[in-house]
Amino acid sequence: MGNIRHSFNTSNQETTFSQMPYRLLYSSYSKYEQDWESYPHTHYFSELFYVLNGCGSFIVEEESFPIRKQNLIIINPSIRHTEVSDKNSPLEYIVLGVEGLNFLIYNDKEYLNIQCEDFSENLDFYFHTILREMDEQKESYETICQNLLEALIIQLSRHTGSPVEMLPSSKRLPANAVTQSASSILTSEKTSLLTHLRS
């Protein structure tokens, strides 16, 4: 058969096309170059921490575990965490900050640590595209980033078997504050990745 068509079930259209109440606050790129240290900290929002290269360890509350290329760590709101890079194989990673989102994790922990070899092509696409869109800020980039985030969250929920709970926001930032925050995070040093991605 030379033609295959898939249609949406019209009875599900309200949920299919609704926007989720969680929202992307920022994307950031970092590479450890022994010029800064990370300290344990918390956020009122969730973070998705995706390792592009290198290795090290991640500390969540009192727990520490190794991380390496293609690890994804999901941290729920208000959970103390930090990363420590191996000096010989420096960590390089992208982080997405997401307001109004909480993963319901089966083992009652407040984080997920996923090794994603079988899923890394998808993650690379989502994380790099969001980062690039927020850096370039072309027309309608906010819509692109939010839609990519929603697709990413749905795929992560499927992949991990962890449903997502929508949280009421404890604070709301105005849209221009999100843009300013993203711009300030992307320093010239950190945009070297973007140059690599464009080539």
Q: Tell me: the pLDDT tens digits for 33-57?
A: 877 678 899 999 999 999 999 999 9
Helix (H, G, I), strand (E, B) or coil at 26: strand
What the block records as the tokens of 59 is 């500390």
Q: Choose among 165, 188, 155: nearest CA to 72.
A: 155
The pLDDT score that the predictor gives to residue 198 is 40
Which percentage of the chain shows pLDDT scores above 90?
48
Q: Choose among 125, 51, 123: nearest CA to 90.
A: 51
Helix (H, G, I), strand (E, B) or coil at 50: strand
The pLDDT score that the predictor gives to residue 102 is 87
Rounded to whole angstroms, how far apart are CA atoms 67 and 114?
A: 9
In one-letter notation, the amino acid at residue 171 is K
Q: Specify whether the CB–CB gap between 46 and 105 falls below 8 A.
A: no
What the block records as the tokens of 121 is 């092509």
The pLDDT score that the predictor gives to residue 166 is 64
In one-letter notation, the amino acid at residue 96 is L
Q: Specify whether the CB–CB gap between 25 and 173 falls below 8 A.
A: yes
What the block records as the tokens of 175 is 């849209």
Q: Choose among 84, 64, 72, 82: nearest CA to 112.
A: 72
Tens of pLDDT along the chain (199 residues) come to: 455 554 445 554 444 444 678 889 999 999 988 776 788 999 999 999 999 999 999 999 989 999 999 999 999 999 999 999 998 999 999 999 999 988 887 766 788 888 877 777 889 999 999 999 999 999 999 999 999 999 999 888 888 877 777 665 444 444 444 433 333 333 333 333 333 344 3
What the block records as the tokens of 41 is 């900290």
